[in-house]
C-alpha cells in the first residue's frame, strides 16, 4: 500500500471525533446511537490499519468481534429506545431527565 498508515489513523480519528460530536450534540436517541456506531467503526478502521501495518491479523479479529458486539449492542439499545419512547410524544433524550440532582 502506498498510503502511510498515519493517514488512515488520522481519518479514523476524524470519524471518531465526528461520532463524539454526534453523541454530545444531538438529542435524538437514534442519531446518538448511530454516532456511537461511528465511534466503533472509527476504532475498527484504526485496528485494521494497524493490523495491516504490523501484518498481524489479530487486528482483523478484534474488528470482527467489535462488529458482533456492535450488532448486539444496537439490538439492545434500540429495544430500550423503543420501550422508553413508545409512550412519549417527542423522541428526545432531553425529555428523559427525571433523574437528576
Partner 1 sequence: MLLYLVWLLPLFGAVLLWALGPQLKSWAGPIGSALIGVSFAATAVLWNGATAPHGLHVPLVSWLAGWDFGLQLDRLSLIWSLIITGVGFLIHVYSIGYMDGDRAFARFFAYMNFFVFAMLTLVLSDNVVGLLVGWGLVGLASYFLIGFWFYKPTAVSAARKAFVMNVVGDVAIMFSIFLIVSKIGLTSYDAIFSQLGRSFSSHELFLIALGLFIGCAAKSAQIPLHTWLPDAMEGPTPVSALIHAATMVTAGVYLIARFAPLWSSSPDAQELTGAIGALTALAGAILGCAQWDIKRILAYSTMSQIGYMIMGVGVGAYDAGVFHFLTHAFFKAQLFLGAGIIIHALANEQDVRRMGGLRKTMPFAFVAMATGVLAISGFPGLSGFFSKDAVIYGALETGHPWLYAVGVITAGITAYYMFRLLFVTFFGAYRGAVDPSDLGIRHPELAGTAELAASSGAHPEEEEPHHHAPSWLMSAPVALLIVPTIAIGWLDFGGGDSRWQQFFGGFFPRAHELTANGAVVTHAAPFSEVVSTAIVFALVVIGFAVAYVRYGATPAPREAIARLRTETVRMPGVLANAYYFDAAYEALLVRPAYALGRWFIRVVDPHGIDAGVREVAISAQWLGHLFRSFQTGLVRAYALTIAVGVVCFVAYYALAFTGGAR
Partner 2 sequence: MSSALGSYPVAADYAALLPAFVVAIVPLALLFADLFFRGQGALRRGVAVGIAIAGLVAAGVIAAEQYPHDYAAFGGAFIQGGFSIVFSEIVIVATIATLMLSVGVGRDDQVAGTTSLLLWSASGAMLMSGAANLMAVFLGLELLSLALYCLCAMSPRRTARESALKYLILSSMASGFLLYGSALLFGATGSVAFAALAHATVTPLLALGAGLFLVGLAFKLSLVPFHAWTPDVYEGAPLPVTAFMSIATKAGTLAVLARFAYAALPPGHATAILAPLWLLAALSMLVGNLAALSQTDMKRLLAYSGIAQVGYIVTAFAGQTPAGLRYAILYLAGYMFMNLGAFAVVALMARDGDAVVGLPRFAGLAYRRPWLAAAMTFFLIGLAGLPPTIGFTGKILILTTTVSASYAWLAGILIAGTAISAYVYFKIVRVMFAQVDPAHVRDERSRNALPWVAVAVCAFATFVLGLVPLTPSNVLPLVK
Partner 3 sequence: MIAFWIMALLMIASAVFTVTARQPVHSVVGLLVNFIALAAMYLTLQAEFLAVMQIVVYSGAILILFVFVIALLSSGTKPFVVGPDRAPRILIPAVVAAVLTLAGITVAALRTPVTVMQTTATNGTTGDANAFGSVANFGAALFTTHLLPFEITAFILMVAVIGVVLIAGDEGPAGIVRRKPKRNVQREPILRRDDKVAR
Q: Is residue 96 part of the contact set for partner 1 (CB under 8 A)?
A: yes
The single-letter DSSP state of residue 95 is G
Chain centre to alpha carbon of residue 24: 13
Site string for partner 2, 75-94 (x = CB under 8 A): -xx--xx-xx--------x-
Question: Crossing angle of helices 58-85/29-54, nearest 10°?
Answer: 180
Q: Is residue 24 part of the contact set for partner 1 (CB under 8 A)?
A: yes
Q: Is residue 61 part of the contact set for partner 1 (CB under 8 A)?
A: no
CB atoms closer than 10 angstroms to residue 58: 11
Could you tell me which of 92, 40, 42, 45 has the C-alpha nearest to residue 67?
Answer: 40
CB 42 within 8 A of CB 19: yes
Note the residues at the interface with partner 1 (CB under 8 A). 20, 23-27, 32, 93-94, 96-101
Note the residues at the interface with partner 2 (CB under 8 A). 5, 9, 12, 16, 19-20, 23, 29, 32-33, 36, 39-40, 42-43, 46-47, 49-51, 53-59, 61-62, 65-66, 69, 72-73, 76-77, 80-81, 83-84, 93, 96-101
Amino acid at each position: 500500500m502506498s498510503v502511510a498508515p498515519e493517514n488512515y489513523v488520522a481519518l479514523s480519528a476524524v470519524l471518531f471525533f465526528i461520532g463524539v460530536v454526534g453523541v454530545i450534540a444531538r438529542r435524538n436517541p437514534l442519531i446518538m446511537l448511530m454516532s456511537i456506531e461511528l465511534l466503533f467503526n472509527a476504532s475498527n478502521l484504526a485496528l485494521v490499519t494497524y493490523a495491516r501495518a504490523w501484518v498481524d491479523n489479530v487486528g482483523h479479529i478484534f474488528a470482527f468481534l467489535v462488529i458482533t458486539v456492535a450488532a448486539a449492542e444496537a439490538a439492545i439499545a434500540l429495544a430500550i429506545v423503543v420501550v422508553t419512547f413508545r409512550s412519549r410524544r417527542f423522541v428526545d433524550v432531553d425529555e428523559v431527565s427525571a433523574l437528576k440532582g
